[in-house]
Amino acid sequence: MTTVSSRSLWKGAISFGLVHIPVALHAATVEGSLNFDWLDKRTMDPVGYRRINKKTGKEIDKENIVKGIEYENGKYVVLSQEEIAAAYPKTTQTIEIETFVSATDIPFTYLERPYYIVPINKGGKVYALLREALLNTRRIGVARVVIQTKQHLAALVPSGPALVLNLLRWADEIRSPENLSFPSEGTGEAGITEKELKMAEQLVTDMSGKWQPEQFQDSFKDEIMKLVNQKVETGDIQSVVQPEEGESPRGAQILDLTELLQRSLKSRETEGGQKRTSDKSPSKPRPGSATDAGSGSHDGSHKRRA
């Protein structure tokens, strides 16, 4: 198993109610596929992508390139850099929890990429408090977070001693299976006999065991790396200089936990009373207020992860 890098990818805070937990994100996975980089065989310089006009085959200067969205086949709407920049979500360095849902609500098709959340700046106690509260209520947090100007939907999930932030796909990114053909649900509707089902269940039982991921290996990767190691041993290697990446911004500060929890609960009680007594349009929740932790509904369901 690959060790998690000590370099954080993002620093900010988890926010629920009035409580902020300063944290840092660390990648929980490593890219398993092999990347064959392009190199100039004469100089061993990295080869990048060129800006090529697909019709003329000629290279295009950067200042002559604009960005467009195809709204119909062959028809585009061109957007300026100013228009695109104005649409970017505001970077808040906050994992803003909007609601809590059952740990089994979100289907696995929504899961995209996990990150370990690590407490920083003396945030360990309130970090542990959130983790234990989620475990005891069997819920996970649904949050928004902006990473490198891109807004993500995410699930905050307890996993052993850690909290894991698993980026989620948006609902419109999930394809509906309604046009696909599946057997009817249930044994009778699918034409399955009781004998067939019992034999299948017995086979599943016989093949069952504990989850041990180290037993499963990528054979193609192993073979390629074997060739790479052979070339290293014979000295058949080349030097290529790659650019380095920088650190992410600073984290947030933590305030008194008990006071913030009391204020968060009191704020929600006050808002609830206003909603019940108001004859006008419903009052909007104050920024930073958390949704009822007992709520089990969400427009996407989530599967358990980490």
Radius of gyration for the alpha carbons in the chain, expressed in angstroms and rounded: 26
**Who has greater pLDDT, 165 or 30?**
165
With a pLDDT cut of 70, the percent of the chain lying above it is 68
Q: Render pLDDT for 214-223 as a digit per residue (tens, 0 to 9).
A: 888 878 778 8
Q: Distance between CA atoms of 64 and 90, rounded to whole angstroms? A: 28
pLDDT, greater one: 42 or 268: 268
Mean pLDDT, the chain, rounded, equals: 74
Q: Give this prediction's pTM.
A: 0.57
Q: Which two tokens stand for residue 117?
A: 């959340």
Could you tell me where the DSSP H helices lie in the chain? 81-87, 124-137, 187-190, 194-206, 219-233, 257-277
Residues shown for the chain: 306
| Averaged pLDDT for residues 77-99 | 80
* pLDDT tier for residue 119 given thresholds of 50, 70 and 90: very high
- Of the two residues 120 and 49, the one the predictor is more confident about is 120
Q: Are strands 139-147 and 150-159 parallel, antiparallel or unpaired?
A: antiparallel
CB 239 within 8 A of CB 44: yes
Can you tell me the mean pLDDT for 21-28?
78
The mean pLDDT of 258-274, rounded to a whole number, is 72
Mean pLDDT along residues 15-22: 71
pLDDT given at position 131: 95
User: What does the pLDDT look like over 163-198, one tens digit per residue?
Assistant: 999 999 888 888 788 777 778 888 888 888 888 888
